[in-house]
């Protein structure tokens, strides 16, 4: 076979092999290289992100008391019995008689108009006592970390002009709301993979002196005795 | 006899041979080069695939349940913190009304009923004064107070006694500045 034929044959083979095998391989390689670069970047980002998450978690541990107050103010479910116990205790402390508590039915627990994450349960109640006691009662409510929202109150004096005095008692009607919190956006965040994103957690509120002054009601009772053989007969 | 010297086509033949040889070697080199390139790409691809697998494993190791839970907790708390900050900012202290209202009450006026709508910053008052003069003075006090935006008289009645003097019973709606409750 003449060399010229071999040259032509080799050129044709080189072209065909290059075009159909080497070039696609090269392109696949370039894509693969990009993929590796992307994965390396993803790994670095995720490492940074996880480090950032753990740093924030450690930072939050320094504010355990404040975090507890925020979780107390916005629990997953409104703790109505605890709220009623608080009201009873606050009334008793301030010399007021509590009566006529009305809870909104479960169906009327509504999302706050300003914030869909916050659910509000309305409670209405009446108290009887002196005005000074009522003011003191309101102040005690305002000091609670629950951040009770008093919607309205009303009171009246049944006597006439000249009958009112320091010792007179009033009947007060109060409407308030208790809040619970659930993150309605959390479903968007429930993917299986970590997706690094900006964590701009502003911790200034945790240093707010107002938050420090708020109090957690510690009157929650832990049942000491439980278990009866027949709970359907009088104890 | 004339001698004709005809140069041998030596040079031309040599050049022709050299070009074919060069073309031959070049085409062989090209073919080998293409083959080598293909195999080096193949090896390189294997290495990259191996590296990709390692990276995927490393990423999977980082994405633990613990890390995902931590992420969910932190983002949940972040949202809760923002909502709490807004609540704290918007918080209204209803007891502040009494500190505000006491100094604005006329010494000879008696308020028998109060309906306070804290959200709407509205107060409905019922009261009595011993005379119209006292009532007018009370209205003037309210009018001069900057934190009272509007004062509407909703009811008024005068009860005259035998001495032609009598008390004034009134109803007032006050629209308050929400700053009162801060």
Q: What is the pLDDT of residues B89-102, one digit of tens each?
A: 888 999 999 999 99
Are B102 and B38 part of one and the same domain?
A: no
Higher pLDDT, residue A112 or A56:
A56
Query: So what's the pLDDT on residue A105?
Result: 66
**DSSP SS3 for B131:** coil
Domain membership flag for residue B7: no
Shortest distance, CA A155 to any CA of chain B (angstroms): 6
Separation of alpha carbons B134 and B170, rounded Å = 12
Structural domain boundaries enclosing B161: 90-181
Are B35 and B110 part of one and the same domain?
A: no
Number of structural domains in chain B: 2
Residue B6: pLDDT above 90?
Answer: no
Closest B-chain CA to A4: B20
Residue A159: pLDDT above 80?
Answer: no
> What is A116-139 written as a DSSP string?
TTEEEEEEEEEEEE-HHHHHHHHH
Give percent of chain A with pLDDT exceeding 70: 83
ipTM, 2 dp = 0.80
> What is chain A written as a DSSP string?
--HHHHHHHHHHHHHHHIIIIIHHHHHHHHHHHHHHHHHHHHHHHHHHHHHHHHHHHHHHHTTHHHHHHHHHHS-SS--HHHHHHHHHHHHHHTT-EEEEEEEPPGGG-EE-SS-TTEEEEEEEEEEEE-HHHHHHHHHHHHHBTT--EEEEEEEE--S-TTT--TT--EEEEEEEEEEEE--TTGGGG--SS---------GGGGG-HHHHH-B----PPPP-----S-TTS--
Residue A165: pLDDT above 50?
Answer: no
A166 touching B (Cβ < 8 Å): no
Reported as a single tens digit per residue, the pLDDT across A95-145 is 999 988 888 765 456 666 677 888 888 899 999 999 999 999 999 999 998
Higher pLDDT, residue B57 or A219:
B57
Asked if B70 and A54 come within 8 Å (Cβ–Cβ), the reply is yes
Range of lowest pLDDT (A105-119, A140-154, B18-32, B161-175): A105-119
When pLDDT is averaged across residues B152-158 and rounded to a whole number, the result is 92
Domain membership flag for residue B5: no
Check: CB of residue B116 under 8 Å from CB of residue A102: no
Shortest distance, CA A122 to any CA of chain B (angstroms): 14
A216 touching B (Cβ < 8 Å): no
Query: So what's the pLDDT on residue A166?
Result: 46
Are B51 and B114 part of one and the same domain?
A: no
Separation of alpha carbons A64 and B166, rounded Å = 63
Domain membership flag for residue B32: yes
Shortest distance, CA A235 to any CA of chain B (angstroms): 44
Query: So what's the pLDDT on residue B15?
Result: 57
Helix then strand count (H, E) for chain B reads: 4, 4
Are B52 and B95 part of one and the same domain?
A: no
Domain membership flag for residue B113: yes
Domain membership flag for residue B98: yes
pLDDT band at B142 (very low <50, low <70, confident <90, very high): very high
pLDDT band at B171 (very low <50, low <70, confident <90, very high): very high
Residue B12: pLDDT above 60?
Answer: no
CATH number at residue B177: 3.30.1360.100
Are B115 and B172 part of one and the same domain?
A: yes
Residue A187: pLDDT above 60?
Answer: no
Query: So what's the pLDDT on residue B11?
Result: 53
Please, what is the average pLDDT of chain B? Answer: 87
Higher pLDDT, residue A142 or A186:
A142
Please, what is the average pLDDT of chain A? Answer: 83
Are B97 and B176 part of one and the same domain?
A: yes
Length of chain B: 182
A68 touching B (Cβ < 8 Å): no
Domain membership flag for residue B174: yes
Asked if B85 and A205 come within 8 Å (Cβ–Cβ), the reply is yes
A111 touching B (Cβ < 8 Å): no
Q: pTM above the 0.90 mark? A: no
Chain A residues whose CB is inside 8 A of the B59 CB are: 39, 42-43, 46
Residue A80: pLDDT above 80?
Answer: yes
């Amino acid at each position: 076979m003449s060399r010229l034929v071999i040259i032509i044959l080799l050129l044709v083979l080189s072209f065909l092999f290059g075009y159909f095998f080497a070039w696609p391989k090269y392109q696949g390689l370039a894509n693969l290289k990009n993929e590796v670069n992307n994965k390396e970047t993803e790994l670095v980002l995720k490492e940074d992100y996880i480090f950032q998450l753990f740093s924030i978690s450690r930072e939050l541990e320094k504010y355990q008391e404040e975090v507890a107050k925020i979780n107390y103010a916005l629990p997953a479910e409104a703790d109505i019995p605890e709220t009623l116990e608080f009201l009873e205790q606050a009334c008793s402390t301030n010399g007021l008689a509590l009566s006529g508590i009305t809870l909104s039915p479960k169906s009327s627990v509504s999302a706050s108009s300003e914030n869909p994450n916050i659910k509000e349960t309305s409670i209405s109640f009446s108290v009887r006592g002196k005005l000074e006691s009522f003011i003191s009662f309101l102040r005690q409510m305002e000091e609670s970390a629950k951040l009770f929202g008093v919607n309205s109150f009303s009171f009246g004096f049944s006597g006439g002009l000249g009958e009112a005095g320091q010792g007179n008692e009033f009947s007060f009607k109060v409407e308030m709301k208790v809040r619970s919190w659930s993150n309605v956006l959390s479903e968007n965040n429930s993917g299986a993979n970590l997706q690094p994103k900006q964590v701009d957690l502003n911790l200034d509120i945790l240093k707010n002196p107002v938050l420090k002054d708020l109090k957690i009601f510690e009157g929650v009772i832990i049942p000491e005795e439980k278990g009866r053989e027949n709970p359907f007969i009088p104890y | 006899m004339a001698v004709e010297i005809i140069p041998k086509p030596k040079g031309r033949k040599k050049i022709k041979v050299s070009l074919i040889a060069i073309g031959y070697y070049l085409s062989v080199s090209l073919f080998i080069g293409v083959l080598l390139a293909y195999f080096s790409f193949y090896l390189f691809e294997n290495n990259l695939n191996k590296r990709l697998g390692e990276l995927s494993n490393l990423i999977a190791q980082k994405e633990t349940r613990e890390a995902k839970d931590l992420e969910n907790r932190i983002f949940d708390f972040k949202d809760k913190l923002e909502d709490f900050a807004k609540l704290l900012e918007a918080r209204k202290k209803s007891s502040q009304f009494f500190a505000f209202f006491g100094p604005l009450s006329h010494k000879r006026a008696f308020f028998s009923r109060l309906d306070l709508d804290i959200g709407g910053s509205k107060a409905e008052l019922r009261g009595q004064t011993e005379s119209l003069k006292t009532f007018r003075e009370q209205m003037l006090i309210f009018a001069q107070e900057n934190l009272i935006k509007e004062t509407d008289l909703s009811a008024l009645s005068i009860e005259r006694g035998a001495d032609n003097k009598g008390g004034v019973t009134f109803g007032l709606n006050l629209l308050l500045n929400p700053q009162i409750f801060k």
